[in-house]
Protein backbone atom coordinates (compact mmCIF):
# COMPACT_ATOMS: atom_id res chain seq x y z
CA UNK A 1 0.00 0.00 0.00
CA UNK A 2 2.74 2.40 1.07
CA UNK A 3 4.79 1.39 -1.97
CA UNK A 4 1.87 2.21 -4.27
CA UNK A 5 1.47 5.59 -2.69
CA UNK A 6 5.21 6.27 -3.02
CA UNK A 7 5.13 5.17 -6.67
CA UNK A 8 2.23 7.50 -7.31
CA UNK A 9 3.97 10.39 -5.56
CA UNK A 10 7.11 9.79 -7.64
CA UNK A 11 5.06 9.89 -10.82
CA UNK A 12 3.55 13.28 -10.03
CA UNK A 13 4.70 16.37 -11.86
CA UNK A 14 5.87 17.97 -8.61
CA UNK A 15 8.25 15.07 -7.88
CA UNK A 16 9.53 15.12 -11.47
CA UNK A 17 10.01 18.88 -11.30
CA UNK A 18 12.28 18.62 -8.26
CA UNK A 19 14.02 15.39 -9.37
CA UNK A 20 15.42 16.79 -12.60
CA UNK A 21 19.04 16.25 -13.66
CA UNK A 22 20.10 19.47 -11.96
CA UNK A 23 18.62 22.27 -9.90
CA UNK A 24 19.30 24.56 -12.84
CA UNK A 25 16.85 22.55 -15.01
CA UNK A 26 14.20 22.92 -12.31
CA UNK A 27 14.74 26.67 -12.21
CA UNK A 28 14.54 26.91 -16.01
CA UNK A 29 11.26 25.00 -16.03
CA UNK A 30 9.80 27.27 -13.35
CA UNK A 31 10.99 30.30 -15.35
CA UNK A 32 9.14 28.94 -18.40
CA UNK A 33 5.96 28.70 -16.31
CA UNK A 34 6.51 32.35 -15.41
CA UNK A 35 6.94 33.36 -19.07
CA UNK A 36 3.80 31.40 -20.02
CA UNK A 37 1.81 33.19 -17.30
CA UNK A 38 3.11 36.58 -18.47
CA UNK A 39 1.93 35.76 -22.00
CA UNK A 40 -1.45 34.65 -20.67
CA UNK A 41 -1.65 37.99 -18.83
CA UNK A 42 -0.77 39.94 -22.01
CA UNK A 43 -3.32 37.97 -24.02
CA UNK A 44 -6.26 38.17 -21.59
CA UNK A 45 -5.74 41.38 -19.62
CA UNK A 46 -3.87 43.54 -22.13
CA UNK A 47 -5.52 41.87 -25.16
CA UNK A 48 -2.28 41.85 -27.18
CA UNK A 49 -2.98 39.52 -30.15
CA UNK A 50 -5.03 37.27 -27.81
CA UNK A 51 -6.16 34.87 -30.55
CA UNK A 52 -2.58 33.72 -31.03
CA UNK A 53 -0.80 34.66 -27.84
CA UNK A 54 -3.16 32.64 -25.62
CA UNK A 55 -2.77 29.33 -27.54
CA UNK A 56 1.01 29.95 -27.71
CA UNK A 57 1.17 30.55 -23.95
CA UNK A 58 -0.84 27.42 -23.18
CA UNK A 59 1.27 25.36 -25.58
CA UNK A 60 4.34 26.63 -23.76
CA UNK A 61 2.85 25.67 -20.41
CA UNK A 62 1.82 22.17 -21.57
CA UNK A 63 5.18 21.34 -23.09
CA UNK A 64 7.05 22.32 -19.91
CA UNK A 65 4.86 20.36 -17.50
CA UNK A 66 7.15 17.59 -16.25
CA UNK A 67 6.03 14.12 -17.32
CA UNK A 68 3.25 15.33 -19.61
CA UNK A 69 5.21 14.19 -22.71
CA UNK A 70 2.87 16.04 -25.03
CA UNK A 71 5.61 17.28 -27.33
CA UNK A 72 9.07 16.07 -28.38
CA UNK A 73 11.03 18.62 -30.38
CA UNK A 74 13.82 16.10 -31.00
CA UNK A 75 11.45 14.13 -33.28
CA UNK A 76 11.39 17.08 -35.68
CA UNK A 77 14.86 18.64 -35.59
CA UNK A 78 16.47 15.77 -37.45
CA UNK A 79 16.68 16.03 -41.23
CA UNK A 80 14.40 13.04 -41.94
CA UNK A 81 11.36 12.85 -39.71
CA UNK A 82 10.28 9.38 -38.68
CA UNK A 83 6.53 9.66 -39.08
CA UNK A 84 6.14 6.21 -37.58
CA UNK A 85 7.92 7.36 -34.42
CA UNK A 86 5.75 10.51 -34.24
CA UNK A 87 2.54 8.49 -34.54
CA UNK A 88 3.56 5.70 -32.18
CA UNK A 89 5.49 7.52 -29.49
CA UNK A 90 4.32 11.11 -29.92
CA UNK A 91 1.82 13.00 -27.83
CA UNK A 92 -1.12 15.05 -29.03
CA UNK A 93 0.99 18.11 -29.76
CA UNK A 94 3.53 16.04 -31.72
CA UNK A 95 0.77 14.92 -34.04
CA UNK A 96 -0.68 18.43 -34.38
CA UNK A 97 2.84 19.79 -34.98
CA UNK A 98 3.00 17.82 -38.23
CA UNK A 99 0.80 20.58 -39.67
CA UNK A 100 3.55 23.09 -38.88
CA UNK A 101 6.42 20.85 -39.95
CA UNK A 102 4.79 20.05 -43.27
CA UNK A 103 3.92 23.72 -43.86
CA UNK A 104 0.16 23.08 -43.85
CA UNK A 105 -1.02 25.58 -41.21
CA UNK A 106 0.68 28.75 -42.53
CA UNK A 107 -0.78 28.12 -45.99
CA UNK A 108 -4.28 27.44 -44.62
CA UNK A 109 -4.07 30.61 -42.51
CA UNK A 110 -3.15 32.52 -45.66
CA UNK A 111 -6.33 31.25 -47.35
CA UNK A 112 -8.29 32.79 -44.47
CA UNK A 113 -6.28 36.02 -44.54
CA UNK A 114 -6.82 36.27 -48.29
CA UNK A 115 -10.57 35.83 -47.85
CA UNK A 116 -10.60 38.60 -45.24
CA UNK A 117 -8.35 41.04 -47.11
CA UNK A 118 -9.66 43.77 -49.35
CA UNK A 119 -7.07 44.56 -52.02
CA UNK A 120 -9.12 47.46 -53.43
CA UNK A 121 -6.85 50.22 -52.00
CA UNK A 122 -3.83 48.52 -53.58
CA UNK A 123 -5.47 48.04 -56.98
CA UNK A 124 -6.65 51.63 -56.84
CA UNK A 125 -3.21 52.98 -55.90
CA UNK A 126 -0.57 50.55 -57.25
CA UNK A 127 2.28 52.85 -56.15
CA UNK A 128 1.66 51.40 -52.68
CA UNK A 129 3.54 48.31 -53.81
CA UNK A 130 6.81 50.26 -53.70
CA UNK A 131 6.18 51.15 -50.06
CA UNK A 132 5.45 47.49 -49.33
CA UNK A 133 8.80 46.61 -50.92
CA UNK A 134 10.68 49.35 -49.02
CA UNK A 135 9.29 48.04 -45.75
CA UNK A 136 11.05 44.70 -46.30
CA UNK A 137 14.37 46.45 -45.66
CA UNK A 138 14.29 45.30 -42.03
CA UNK A 139 14.09 41.64 -43.09
CA UNK A 140 17.43 41.80 -44.87
CA UNK A 141 19.11 44.15 -42.37
CA UNK A 142 18.21 41.80 -39.51
CA UNK A 143 19.46 38.84 -41.56
CA UNK A 144 22.73 40.72 -42.04
CA UNK A 145 23.02 41.57 -38.33
CA UNK A 146 22.25 38.03 -37.18
CA UNK A 147 24.81 36.61 -39.60
CA UNK A 148 27.40 39.20 -38.58
CA UNK A 149 26.99 38.24 -34.91
CA UNK A 150 28.58 34.90 -35.75
CA UNK A 151 26.15 33.07 -33.47
CA UNK A 152 23.81 31.87 -36.19
CA UNK A 153 24.11 29.92 -39.43
CA UNK A 154 22.88 31.70 -42.60
CA UNK A 155 19.63 29.72 -42.47
CA UNK A 156 19.00 30.70 -38.86
CA UNK A 157 19.84 34.32 -39.72
CA UNK A 158 17.27 34.20 -42.53
CA UNK A 159 14.61 32.87 -40.15
CA UNK A 160 15.42 35.66 -37.68
CA UNK A 161 15.34 38.30 -40.43
CA UNK A 162 11.85 37.34 -41.54
CA UNK A 163 10.53 38.62 -38.18
CA UNK A 164 10.88 42.06 -39.83
CA UNK A 165 8.15 41.05 -42.29
CA UNK A 166 5.70 41.38 -39.37
CA UNK A 167 3.81 38.34 -40.58
CA UNK A 168 3.39 35.38 -38.21
CA UNK A 169 2.54 32.57 -40.66
CA UNK A 170 5.34 33.68 -43.01
CA UNK A 171 7.87 33.67 -40.15
CA UNK A 172 6.66 30.22 -39.08
CA UNK A 173 6.91 28.77 -42.60
CA UNK A 174 10.46 30.04 -43.09
CA UNK A 175 11.61 29.01 -39.62
CA UNK A 176 10.17 25.50 -39.69
CA UNK A 177 12.06 24.93 -42.92
CA UNK A 178 15.38 26.66 -42.23
CA UNK A 179 15.78 26.66 -38.44
CA UNK A 180 13.20 24.43 -36.69
CA UNK A 181 14.94 24.63 -33.33
CA UNK A 182 14.35 28.41 -33.22
CA UNK A 183 10.65 28.19 -34.03
CA UNK A 184 9.36 28.97 -30.54
CA UNK A 185 11.58 32.00 -29.99
CA UNK A 186 11.00 33.44 -33.47
CA UNK A 187 7.22 32.94 -33.45
CA UNK A 188 6.87 34.47 -29.99
CA UNK A 189 9.11 37.41 -30.94
CA UNK A 190 7.18 37.97 -34.20
CA UNK A 191 3.73 37.93 -32.59
CA UNK A 192 4.86 40.00 -29.59
CA UNK A 193 6.26 42.74 -31.82
CA UNK A 194 3.12 42.69 -33.99
CA UNK A 195 1.11 43.28 -30.84
CA UNK A 196 3.45 46.10 -29.84
CA UNK A 197 3.22 47.94 -33.19
CA UNK A 198 1.17 50.83 -31.70
CA UNK A 199 4.10 51.46 -29.33
CA UNK A 200 7.05 50.70 -31.64
CA UNK A 201 6.06 52.63 -34.76
CA UNK A 202 4.86 56.14 -33.69
CA UNK A 203 8.27 57.41 -32.46
CA UNK A 204 9.83 56.54 -35.84
CA UNK A 205 6.87 58.10 -37.66
CA UNK A 206 7.34 61.38 -35.81
CA UNK A 207 11.12 61.30 -36.14
CA UNK A 208 11.21 60.76 -39.88
CA UNK A 209 8.42 63.11 -41.02
CA UNK A 210 7.82 66.84 -40.74
CA UNK A 211 4.59 68.27 -39.35
CA UNK A 212 3.74 69.59 -42.81
CA UNK A 213 4.12 66.09 -44.29
CA UNK A 214 1.95 64.57 -41.57
CA UNK A 215 -0.89 66.90 -42.56
CA UNK A 216 -0.86 66.03 -46.27
CA UNK A 217 -4.31 65.04 -47.49
CA UNK A 218 -4.37 62.36 -50.11
CA UNK A 219 -6.84 62.37 -52.99
CA UNK A 220 -9.72 59.91 -52.94
CA UNK A 221 -9.04 56.44 -54.31
CA UNK A 222 -10.61 55.60 -57.65
CA UNK A 223 -13.40 53.03 -57.74
CA UNK A 224 -12.33 49.48 -58.60
CA UNK A 225 -14.49 47.24 -60.78
CA UNK A 226 -15.42 43.68 -59.86
CA UNK A 227 -13.51 42.44 -62.91
CA UNK A 228 -10.32 44.06 -61.65
CA UNK A 229 -10.82 42.50 -58.23
CA UNK A 230 -11.21 39.05 -59.81
CA UNK A 231 -8.26 39.38 -62.21
CA UNK A 232 -5.93 40.75 -59.50
CA UNK A 233 -5.39 37.55 -57.45
CA UNK A 234 -4.89 35.46 -60.59
CA UNK A 235 -2.32 37.90 -61.99
CA UNK A 236 -0.43 38.10 -58.68
CA UNK A 237 -0.40 34.31 -58.42
CA UNK A 238 1.05 34.04 -61.94
CA UNK A 239 3.66 36.78 -61.66
CA UNK A 240 4.96 35.80 -58.22
CA UNK A 241 4.77 32.10 -59.05
CA UNK A 242 6.82 32.51 -62.21
CA UNK A 243 9.53 34.59 -60.51
CA UNK A 244 9.71 33.17 -56.96
CA UNK A 245 8.01 29.74 -57.02
CA UNK A 246 8.92 29.11 -53.37
CA UNK A 247 6.59 31.94 -52.36
CA UNK A 248 3.60 30.13 -53.85
CA UNK A 249 2.57 28.17 -50.72
CA UNK A 250 1.88 31.60 -49.19
CA UNK A 251 0.96 33.85 -52.13
CA UNK A 252 -1.01 31.13 -53.95
CA UNK A 253 -3.13 30.45 -50.87
CA UNK A 254 -3.51 34.17 -50.08
CA UNK A 255 -4.77 34.88 -53.58
CA UNK A 256 -6.97 31.79 -53.66
CA UNK A 257 -8.66 32.96 -50.46
CA UNK A 258 -9.12 36.42 -51.92
CA UNK A 259 -10.60 35.00 -55.12
CA UNK A 260 -13.14 33.04 -53.06
CA UNK A 261 -14.20 36.34 -51.52
CA UNK A 262 -14.35 38.59 -54.57
CA UNK A 263 -15.68 36.26 -57.27
CA UNK A 264 -19.17 36.49 -55.74
CA UNK A 265 -20.18 32.87 -56.36
CA UNK A 266 -18.41 31.10 -53.49
CA UNK A 267 -19.74 32.98 -50.50
CA UNK A 268 -20.05 29.83 -48.40
CA UNK A 269 -16.42 28.85 -48.99
CA UNK A 270 -15.27 32.39 -48.33
CA UNK A 271 -17.14 32.53 -45.02
CA UNK A 272 -15.73 29.15 -43.99
CA UNK A 273 -12.18 30.26 -44.85
CA UNK A 274 -12.65 33.49 -42.88
CA UNK A 275 -14.18 31.91 -39.81
CA UNK A 276 -14.18 28.17 -39.13
CA UNK A 277 -11.02 27.25 -41.06
CA UNK A 278 -9.09 30.25 -39.78
CA UNK A 279 -10.14 29.66 -36.17
CA UNK A 280 -9.38 25.94 -36.15
CA UNK A 281 -5.97 26.38 -37.77
CA UNK A 282 -5.14 29.29 -35.46
CA UNK A 283 -5.73 27.05 -32.43
CA UNK A 284 -3.55 24.25 -33.82
CA UNK A 285 -0.83 26.62 -35.00
CA UNK A 286 -0.68 28.62 -31.77
CA UNK A 287 -0.62 25.70 -29.38
CA UNK A 288 2.01 23.74 -31.33
CA UNK A 289 4.27 26.75 -31.89
CA UNK A 290 4.09 27.47 -28.16
CA UNK A 291 4.95 23.83 -27.50
CA UNK A 292 8.33 24.23 -29.22
CA UNK A 293 9.37 26.64 -26.45
CA UNK A 294 10.64 24.05 -24.00
CA UNK A 295 12.95 25.25 -21.23
CA UNK A 296 16.05 23.67 -22.79
CA UNK A 297 15.31 25.10 -26.19
CA UNK A 298 14.02 28.56 -25.23
CA UNK A 299 16.13 29.76 -22.30
CA UNK A 300 19.35 30.37 -24.19
CA UNK A 301 21.45 33.44 -24.96
CA UNK A 302 20.44 33.00 -28.59
CA UNK A 303 16.82 33.75 -27.65
CA UNK A 304 17.80 37.16 -26.28
CA UNK A 305 19.74 37.88 -29.46
CA UNK A 306 16.75 36.75 -31.57
CA UNK A 307 14.49 39.12 -29.64
CA UNK A 308 16.95 42.00 -30.18
CA UNK A 309 17.45 41.24 -33.89
CA UNK A 310 13.67 40.96 -34.27
CA UNK A 311 13.21 44.39 -32.70
CA UNK A 312 15.86 45.83 -35.02
CA UNK A 313 14.08 44.19 -37.97
CA UNK A 314 10.78 45.80 -37.00
CA UNK A 315 12.30 49.24 -36.51
CA UNK A 316 14.26 49.13 -39.78
CA UNK A 317 11.22 47.87 -41.70
CA UNK A 318 9.16 50.76 -40.33
CA UNK A 319 11.95 53.17 -41.29
CA UNK A 320 12.25 51.63 -44.76
CA UNK A 321 8.54 52.08 -45.42
CA UNK A 322 8.50 55.65 -44.11
CA UNK A 323 11.54 56.68 -46.15
CA UNK A 324 10.15 55.07 -49.32
CA UNK A 325 6.88 56.97 -48.90
CA UNK A 326 8.79 60.17 -48.15
CA UNK A 327 10.92 59.83 -51.30
CA UNK A 328 7.83 59.01 -53.38
CA UNK A 329 6.14 62.11 -52.02
CA UNK A 330 9.12 64.30 -52.95
CA UNK A 331 9.26 62.78 -56.46
CA UNK A 332 5.50 63.29 -56.91
CA UNK A 333 5.67 67.00 -56.06
CA UNK A 334 5.76 67.13 -52.27
CA UNK A 335 2.04 67.27 -51.52
CA UNK A 336 0.61 64.00 -52.83
CA UNK A 337 1.60 61.15 -50.53
CA UNK A 338 1.42 61.41 -46.76
CA UNK A 339 4.63 59.64 -45.58
CA UNK A 340 2.80 58.35 -42.50
CA UNK A 341 1.27 55.62 -44.67
CA UNK A 342 4.82 54.30 -45.18
CA UNK A 343 4.95 52.67 -41.76
CA UNK A 344 1.96 50.53 -42.79
CA UNK A 345 4.23 48.80 -45.33
CA UNK A 346 5.04 46.20 -42.67
CA UNK A 347 2.45 43.54 -43.20
CA UNK A 348 0.68 43.48 -39.83
CA UNK A 349 -2.86 43.91 -41.21
CA UNK A 350 -4.72 46.05 -40.27
CA UNK A 351 -2.91 47.18 -37.12
CA UNK A 352 -0.13 49.07 -38.94
CA UNK A 353 -2.68 50.92 -41.11
CA UNK A 354 -4.64 51.88 -38.00
CA UNK A 355 -1.47 53.33 -36.47
CA UNK A 356 -0.96 55.50 -39.60
CA UNK A 357 -4.56 56.71 -39.30
CA UNK A 358 -4.22 57.43 -35.58
CA UNK A 359 -0.95 59.36 -35.85
CA UNK A 360 -2.28 61.28 -38.87
CA UNK A 361 -5.38 62.34 -36.96
CA UNK A 362 -3.28 63.64 -34.08
CA UNK A 363 -2.09 66.38 -36.44
CA UNK A 364 -5.26 66.82 -38.52
CA UNK A 365 -8.40 65.27 -36.99
CA UNK A 366 -10.28 65.49 -40.28
CA UNK A 367 -7.61 63.65 -42.27
CA UNK A 368 -8.56 60.03 -42.99
CA UNK A 369 -5.51 57.98 -43.98
CA UNK A 370 -6.85 54.51 -43.18
CA UNK A 371 -7.80 53.44 -46.71
CA UNK A 372 -4.64 54.98 -48.15
CA UNK A 373 -2.56 53.09 -45.58
CA UNK A 374 -4.31 49.80 -46.36
CA UNK A 375 -2.63 49.80 -49.80
CA UNK A 376 0.95 49.60 -48.46
CA UNK A 377 -0.31 47.33 -45.69
CA UNK A 378 -1.56 44.59 -48.02
CA UNK A 379 1.44 45.23 -50.31
CA UNK A 380 3.56 44.40 -47.27
CA UNK A 381 1.85 41.00 -47.00
CA UNK A 382 2.83 40.25 -50.60
CA UNK A 383 6.32 41.72 -50.06
CA UNK A 384 7.08 39.66 -46.96
CA UNK A 385 5.82 36.49 -48.68
CA UNK A 386 8.16 37.23 -51.61
CA UNK A 387 11.05 37.83 -49.17
CA UNK A 388 10.21 34.48 -47.55
CA UNK A 389 10.22 32.88 -51.01
CA UNK A 390 13.67 34.34 -51.67
CA UNK A 391 15.03 32.83 -48.44
CA UNK A 392 13.39 29.47 -49.11
CA UNK A 393 14.72 29.27 -52.65
CA UNK A 394 18.24 30.49 -51.77
CA UNK A 395 20.90 27.83 -52.44
CA UNK A 396 22.19 27.80 -48.83
CA UNK B 1 21.98 21.41 -49.16
CA UNK B 2 21.03 22.61 -45.68
CA UNK B 3 23.53 20.30 -43.99
CA UNK B 4 26.37 21.48 -46.21
CA UNK B 5 25.84 25.10 -45.25
CA UNK B 6 25.30 24.40 -41.56
CA UNK B 7 28.59 22.58 -41.42
CA UNK B 8 30.32 25.27 -43.46
CA UNK B 9 28.93 28.21 -41.42
CA UNK B 10 31.26 27.99 -38.41
CA UNK B 11 34.26 27.90 -40.72
CA UNK B 12 33.33 31.25 -42.29
CA UNK B 13 35.37 34.12 -40.92
CA UNK B 14 33.94 37.60 -40.29
CA UNK B 15 34.85 38.98 -43.74
CA UNK B 16 33.32 35.97 -45.48
CA UNK B 17 30.15 36.31 -43.45
CA UNK B 18 29.92 40.00 -44.33
CA UNK B 19 30.42 39.32 -48.03
CA UNK B 20 27.87 36.51 -47.97
CA UNK B 21 25.38 38.61 -46.02
CA UNK B 22 25.76 41.50 -48.42
CA UNK B 23 25.18 39.19 -51.36
CA UNK B 24 21.90 37.87 -49.88
CA UNK B 25 20.91 41.42 -48.91
CA UNK B 26 21.35 42.85 -52.41
CA UNK B 27 19.85 39.93 -54.32
CA UNK B 28 17.02 39.42 -51.82
CA UNK B 29 15.89 43.03 -51.54
CA UNK B 30 16.42 43.47 -55.28
CA UNK B 31 14.14 40.50 -55.99
CA UNK B 32 11.43 41.84 -53.68
CA UNK B 33 11.55 45.23 -55.42
CA UNK B 34 11.62 43.62 -58.89
CA UNK B 35 8.56 41.45 -58.21
CA UNK B 36 6.56 44.30 -56.68
CA UNK B 37 7.52 46.72 -59.49
CA UNK B 38 6.32 44.16 -62.06
CA UNK B 39 3.05 43.87 -60.12
CA UNK B 40 2.83 47.67 -60.10
CA UNK B 41 3.15 47.76 -63.90
CA UNK B 42 0.49 45.04 -64.19
CA UNK B 43 -1.85 47.11 -62.02
CA UNK B 44 -1.22 50.19 -64.15
CA UNK B 45 -2.42 48.14 -67.13
CA UNK B 46 -5.48 47.19 -65.08
CA UNK B 47 -6.27 50.86 -64.71
CA UNK B 48 -5.87 51.56 -68.41
CA UNK B 49 -8.02 48.66 -69.59
CA UNK B 50 -10.60 48.43 -66.84
CA UNK B 51 -11.02 52.03 -65.80
CA UNK B 52 -9.63 54.68 -68.16
CA UNK B 53 -10.72 53.09 -71.46
CA UNK B 54 -14.28 52.20 -70.35
CA UNK B 55 -14.66 55.71 -68.93
CA UNK B 56 -13.46 57.28 -72.18
CA UNK B 57 -15.81 55.00 -74.10
CA UNK B 58 -18.74 55.98 -71.89
CA UNK B 59 -17.87 59.65 -72.27
CA UNK B 60 -17.68 59.27 -76.04
CA UNK B 61 -21.05 57.48 -76.13
CA UNK B 62 -22.59 60.23 -74.00
CA UNK B 63 -21.22 62.91 -76.32
CA UNK B 64 -22.55 61.03 -79.36
CA UNK B 65 -25.96 60.70 -77.77
CA UNK B 66 -25.98 64.41 -76.90
CA UNK B 67 -25.05 65.40 -80.44
CA UNK B 68 -27.80 63.13 -81.81
CA UNK B 69 -30.35 64.79 -79.56
CA UNK B 70 -29.23 68.20 -80.74
CA UNK B 71 -29.41 67.13 -84.39
CA UNK B 72 -32.83 65.50 -84.11
CA UNK B 73 -35.72 67.58 -85.55
CA UNK B 74 -38.23 68.91 -83.08
CA UNK B 75 -41.52 67.38 -84.08
CA UNK B 76 -44.19 68.77 -81.87
CA UNK B 77 -44.63 69.20 -78.23
CA UNK B 78 -46.70 66.57 -76.57
CA UNK B 79 -47.87 66.84 -73.03
CA UNK B 80 -45.75 64.65 -70.79
CA UNK B 81 -47.28 63.27 -67.68
CA UNK B 82 -44.88 63.68 -64.81
CA UNK B 83 -45.20 61.29 -61.92
CA UNK B 84 -44.07 63.15 -58.91
CA UNK B 85 -42.31 61.27 -56.17
CA UNK B 86 -44.08 61.74 -52.89
CA UNK B 87 -41.99 64.16 -50.89
CA UNK B 88 -41.65 63.06 -47.30
CA UNK B 89 -39.68 64.23 -44.32
CA UNK B 90 -36.78 61.77 -43.84
CA UNK B 91 -35.34 63.47 -40.77
CA UNK B 92 -36.41 60.68 -38.44
CA UNK B 93 -35.20 58.00 -40.83
CA UNK B 94 -31.82 59.71 -41.15
CA UNK B 95 -31.54 59.90 -37.37
CA UNK B 96 -32.26 56.16 -37.09
CA UNK B 97 -29.66 55.27 -39.75
CA UNK B 98 -27.06 57.51 -38.10
CA UNK B 99 -27.71 55.87 -34.75
CA UNK B 100 -27.41 52.42 -36.36
CA UNK B 101 -24.02 53.28 -37.89
CA UNK B 102 -22.80 54.65 -34.56
CA UNK B 103 -23.98 51.50 -32.75
CA UNK B 104 -22.33 49.26 -35.36
CA UNK B 105 -19.05 51.17 -35.09
CA UNK B 106 -19.09 50.93 -31.31
CA UNK B 107 -19.85 47.21 -31.46
CA UNK B 108 -17.03 46.48 -33.91
CA UNK B 109 -14.56 48.39 -31.75
CA UNK B 110 -14.13 51.22 -34.24
CA UNK B 111 -13.85 54.41 -32.26
CA UNK B 112 -13.26 56.69 -35.25
CA UNK B 113 -15.49 59.75 -35.19
CA UNK B 114 -17.66 60.25 -38.28
CA UNK B 115 -19.70 63.07 -39.68
CA UNK B 116 -22.76 62.67 -41.84
CA UNK B 117 -22.19 64.67 -45.00
CA UNK B 118 -25.12 63.57 -47.11
CA UNK B 119 -27.72 60.88 -47.50
CA UNK B 120 -28.76 59.63 -50.88
CA UNK B 121 -31.50 57.19 -51.81
CA UNK B 122 -30.27 54.05 -53.58
CA UNK B 123 -33.11 54.51 -56.07
CA UNK B 124 -36.89 54.29 -56.30
CA UNK B 125 -39.44 55.10 -53.72
CA UNK B 126 -38.22 52.25 -51.50
CA UNK B 127 -34.57 53.16 -51.91
CA UNK B 128 -33.80 52.94 -48.20
CA UNK B 129 -34.62 49.27 -48.17
CA UNK B 130 -31.40 48.59 -50.00
CA UNK B 131 -33.11 46.59 -52.76
Tell me whether residues A239 and B18 touch, CB distance under 8 A.
Answer: no
Q: Assess if residue B43 is contained within a domain.
A: yes
How many A-B residue pairs are in contact by the CB < 8 A criterion?
123
Burial level of A215, CB count in 10 A (0-12/13-18/19+)?
middle
Q: Assess if residue B29 is contained within a domain.
A: yes
Return the residue of A nearest to B114 by Cα.
A366
Residues 27-66 of A with CB under 8 A from B: none
Q: Assess if residue B28 is contained within a domain.
A: yes
Number of domains comprising chain B? 1
Q: Assess if residue B16 is contained within a domain.
A: yes
Q: Assess if residue B122 is contained within a domain.
A: no
Of A133, A227, A391, the CB nearest to B50: A227
pLDDT of residue A32: 92
Domain that holds residue B23: 2-71
Task: Please choose, from the candidates A226, A64, A15, A130, the residue with its C-alpha nearest in 3D space to the C-alpha of residue B32.
Answer: A130
Q: Assess if residue B82 is contained within a domain.
A: no
CB A373 within 8 A of CB A340: yes
- At residue A93's C-alpha, the angle toward residues A90 and A97, to 5°, is 95
> Could you tell me the CA-to-CA distances from A272 to A92, A104, A255, A267, A284 in Å, in that order?
25, 17, 16, 9, 17
Point out the residues of chain A with pLDDT beneath 70: none
Peptide bond between residue A218 and the one before it cis (omega within 30 degrees of 0): no
- DSSP structure string for B9-50: GGG--HHHHHHHHHHHHHHHHHHHHHHHHHHHHHHHHHHIII
ipTM: 0.88
pLDDT of residue B113: 65
Return the residue of A nearest to B41 by Cα.
A126
Q: Measured between alpha carbons, how far is A129 from A56 in angstroms, rounded to an integer? A: 32
CB A154 within 8 A of CB A392: no
| Run means of pLDDT, 10 residues per run, chain B, 131 residues | 43 86 94 95 86 76 79 54 50 76 71 66 52 39
pLDDT of residue B59: 81
pLDDT of residue A52: 85
Tens of pLDDT, residue by residue over A354-363, are 999 999 999 9
Q: Assess if residue B21 is contained within a domain.
A: yes
Question: For testing the chain B interface, which of A147, A174, A182 should be mutated: the one with the most B CBs within 10 Å?
Answer: A147
Tens of pLDDT, residue by residue over A42-84, are 899 988 878 888 999 999 999 999 888 888 888 887 777 888 9
pLDDT of residue A395: 77
Q: Assess if residue B96 is contained within a domain.
A: no
pLDDT of residue B109: 63
Domain ranges of chain A: 100-393
In Å, how far is A239's CA from the nearest CA of chain B?
A: 7
Return the residue of A nearest to B50 by Cα.
A228
Return the residue of B nearest to A137 by Cα.
B29
CB B39 within 8 A of CB A390: no
Amino acid sequence: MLESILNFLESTGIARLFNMDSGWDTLKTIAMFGIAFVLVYFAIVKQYEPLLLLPIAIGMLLTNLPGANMFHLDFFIQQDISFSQVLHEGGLLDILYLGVKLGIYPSLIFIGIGAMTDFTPLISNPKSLLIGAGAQLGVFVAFFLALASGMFSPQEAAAIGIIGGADGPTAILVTKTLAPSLLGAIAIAAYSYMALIPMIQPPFMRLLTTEKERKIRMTALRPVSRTEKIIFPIVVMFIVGLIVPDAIPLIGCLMFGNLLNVCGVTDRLSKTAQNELMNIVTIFLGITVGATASADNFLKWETILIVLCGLAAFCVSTTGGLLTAKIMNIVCGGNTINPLIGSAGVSAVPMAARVSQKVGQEYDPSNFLLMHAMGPNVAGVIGSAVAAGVFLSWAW
Amino acid sequence: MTNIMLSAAPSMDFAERMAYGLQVFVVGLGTVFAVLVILWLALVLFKVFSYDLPQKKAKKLAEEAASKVEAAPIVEETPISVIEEPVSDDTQLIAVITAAIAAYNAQSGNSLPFRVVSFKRAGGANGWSGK
